[in-house]
Structure 1
Amino acid sequence: MCSRRIALALLVAQAAALVVPPSCARCRRVRLRSEPGDAPAEAAAPVEDVPIATTEPEPAAPQLTERQKEIARLRAAEKFLEKDTGKYMCKVCEYQYDPEEGAKGVAASTPFEDIQSNWRCPRCRASKDSFEPVTITIAGFAENQNYGFGGNSMTEGDKNLAIFGGLGFFFVLLLSGYLMT
């Protein structure tokens, strides 16, 4: 009875063409054994290792349309402009060194590059190597930053200030018309 179950399980596995996903590398073999209630332990069928088919169809090379090629080209050219603020931040404790303020033992207006190599973070005592420059990313492509009236090179906060500041100014200007007699 057990050998029939094993043979049936093999046929089902071959008919279904089981494919093991690549993330499941440990599951390349299946152990088939008899049910515990079928026969006594001495007469149980031996455990067999049965390999599972691991052939996956090779994906065909995708044929890209002209529009998809253009999208891929634009994504490859997508480089955002990053501006250096001149400040440096400690990776360990997030302390920011601002050159205009200086730090303990460092005079104000001293660039970070001019600080001695044995200088340490005032908060966590990390070395100078654990600092990284603070940059701001400007939205839009780097190649388009010179177009327009300079709005392309503004940061997100600068654009918000210009838009909402202008709206507030015109709101106050229109309300001031009611004050005139």
Structure 2
Amino acid sequence: MASATSATFRLTQASSSTAPLKSKPHVTFPFKPYPLLPPFHKHPKLKIAAKEDSPESVAETDAFDKRRLEEKFAVLNTGIFECRSCGYLYNEAAGDPSYPIPPGLPFDRFPDDWRCPTCGAAKGFFASKSVEIAGFAQNQQFGLGGNTLTSGQKAILIYGSLLFFFVLFLSGYFLQ
């Protein structure tokens, strides 16, 4: 739409038999059609790259990456390892009686020739069963101990306390 369009209106009054007819001048208003889509060049968050724009500095991206590295969720090792080949679950607390591994020995200190008792897979086929704790690892020392709970433990704590107080308040009706 290279040219602007205009709308013309003729203002007239209702004719009455007593008043003489007067013609009023035409009033013209410039009319710009409303675009279906907003103009993207006027969007406040849109940045158009031009030759005079300077690239982002490396220091800003390094600072961002350092902050992003700190935002890691805390992962708690459960001491249970699962064989990806057969699904056998090894518990560090129980040990392995078939191979003389005492209870409590960490999995990474196992001898290299240790194999899965069920399928014979090597140590590399075992994956640690870990639990992700809600919140970032750097924030675990703050609070009243709720930061170290898993999501399941928090759900039990919240809904258990709601149930406890519900029963407590209902028991007030049975007092005589």
TM-score, normalising length: structure 1: 0.54
Structure 1 stretches of at least 4 aligned residues deviating more than 6 Å after TM superposition: 60-63, 70-73
Return 5+ residue gaps in structure 1 as ranges.
1-56, 64-69
Q: Which residue of 1 aligns with 2:150?
A: 155
Structure 1 distance, partners of 2:65, 2:123, is 40
Structure 2 distance, partners of 1:99, 1:159, is 25
Q: Which residue of 2 aligns with 1:83?
A: 76
Change in Cα spacing, 1:113 to 1:75, as seen in structure 2 (3 Å) is closer
1:121 aligns with 2:104: no
Aligned residues: 122
RMSD between aligned residues = 3.4
Amino acid at match of 1:97: Y
State the Cα deviation string for residues 66-96 of structure 1 (Å, max 9, x = none).
Answer: xxxx987754431111111122221222321
Structure 2 distance, partners of 1:126, 1:74, is 40
Return 5+ residue gaps in structure 2 as ranges.
1-48, 57-62
Change in Cα spacing, 1:165 to 1:62, as seen in structure 2 (3 Å) is farther
State the Cα deviation string for residues 139-181 of structure 1 (Å, max 9, x = none).
Answer: 2111111111010111111111111111111111111112211
Instruction: Specify which structure has the higher proportion of helix.
Output: 1
Q: Which residue of 2 aligns with 1:51?
A: none
Is contact 1:104-1:122 (8 Å) kept?
no
Is contact 2:74-2:134 (8 Å) kept?
yes
Percent identical residues? 40
Is contact 2:78-2:130 (8 Å) kept?
yes
Question: Secondary structure, in 3 states, of the residue corresponding to 1:177?
Answer: helix
Max Rg structure: 2
Larger mean CA deviation between 115-124 and 71-80 belongs to 71-80
- How do 1:1-181 residues align onto structure 2 when only pairs under 5 Å count? 75-106=68-99, 109-111=103-105, 112-181=107-176
1:62 CA displacement:
7.5
1:101 CA displacement:
3.0
TM-score, normalising length: structure 2: 0.55
Change in Cα spacing, 1:158 to 1:61, as seen in structure 2 (3 Å) is farther
Is contact 2:96-2:103 (8 Å) kept?
no
